[in-house]
A = this chain, B = another copy of it.
């Protein structure tokens, strides 16, 4: 895979265990249109603070990333280290320092080992190549079970553009191994202001609609870089070409976000919570999110236990008015509930599938929304508790 206008590099700097890629670099041949969304956590890692300020200009020449250490809760030293990373990357690729962003993922509360990070950036810069996408996608991982990439090609008038995404990390997979990071690069030409608006909107219906444990990391970041090297005319509004590009971006973000859930902490099931018949979409989303956050519901998913009462009770915690007696609840195509005797075994069979949908119809309006989540079982506890003791 090549994304015209970009080179990718990766290097094993020894931040993680020896020989594993842990520093990544994407460099734009010429300054690219850029947009990003960041964590809403009040505790923001140093790289988030640095990158948030820099992406505001709407133009970036590159992004430097390290895994193995999140550079979060590291105080003034952390900010100095994040800036030193961008300086080193900028120098290595011949870009202005202020045009380079930075992202980190890994352990919280430990200063970056700069004696490894800085040589790592040199190494990643030396490895920059048009073919480097897969290495980049590998170097950003922490304890992910697999690389997470998705590529869409879309025709904009006479030109074809590529939209390539790479992501890491299903929430807080391992102790202090926080963070979702995603990077999308495209050779489409896009006006920065519209790119920012489109990214926000599409992230809201993709990454913001998946949930592993409800914890928001200190480092979550999604970046989009657009080089324009396809030669397609610049996109700047929701005309036909703009809608095609949005569709491609949405597909990339949607697939990446579902890969995150499937790789959640020991997850065995990807469960889509679909709420229909809510007063409006916001209410539907709130109900779906409350169900997806409930430890009682998630342990029932782990045990394939069609505990419909728990799901209705969790829905009742969202503050959205509905009549419990009128609710319809389906596990895929199997109806469950008080009125349906004998559905237990059918619902149990559905819940043994690796993917299924729980559909809750509230009969209280026309709002609908869905959240993808996973089960919470013994593997989650093992991964998250049995770390340093």
Seen from chain A, the residues whose Cβ lies within 8 Å of a Cβ on chain B are 41-44, 72-76, 107-109, 111, 172, 175-176, 178, 213-218, 293-296, 299-300, 302-305, 307-310, 312-322, 324-325, 337-338, 344, 348, 376-378, 380-382, 384-389
Contacts and interface: CB of A to CB of B under 8 A. Distances in A.
Given A172-B296, A175-B305, A348-B388, 11 more contacts: A108-B312, A109-B337, A111-B338, A176-B307, A176-B310, A213-B294, A216-B316, A295-B384, A299-B380, A303-B386, A305-B388
Contact of A384 (B296, B337, B389): B296
A309 B72 contact: yes
Contacts of A73: 309, 312-313, 324, 338
A42 B319 contact: yes
Contacts of A318: 42
A218 B175 CA distance: 33
Instruction: Kindly report how many copies of this chain are found in the complex they form together.
Output: 2
Closest 7 CB pairs of A and B: A43-B316, A108-B309, A303-B385, A109-B309, A299-B384, A42-B316, A41-B316
Contacts of A300: 175, 384-385
Contacts of A217: 313
B312 A74 contact: no
27 contacts: A41-B316, A42-B319, A72-B309, A72-B313, A73-B312, A108-B313, A109-B308, A109-B309, A109-B312, A111-B338, A175-B305, A175-B307, A176-B309, A213-B296, A215-B314, A218-B313, A295-B376, A296-B384, A299-B380, A303-B385, A303-B387, A303-B388, A344-B388, A377-B381, A378-B378, A378-B382, A380-B381
A338 B109 contact: yes
Q: Which of A176, A309, A319 has the most CB of B within 10 A?
A: A309
Contacts of A176: 307, 309-310
B302 A381 contact: yes
Contacts of A76: 325
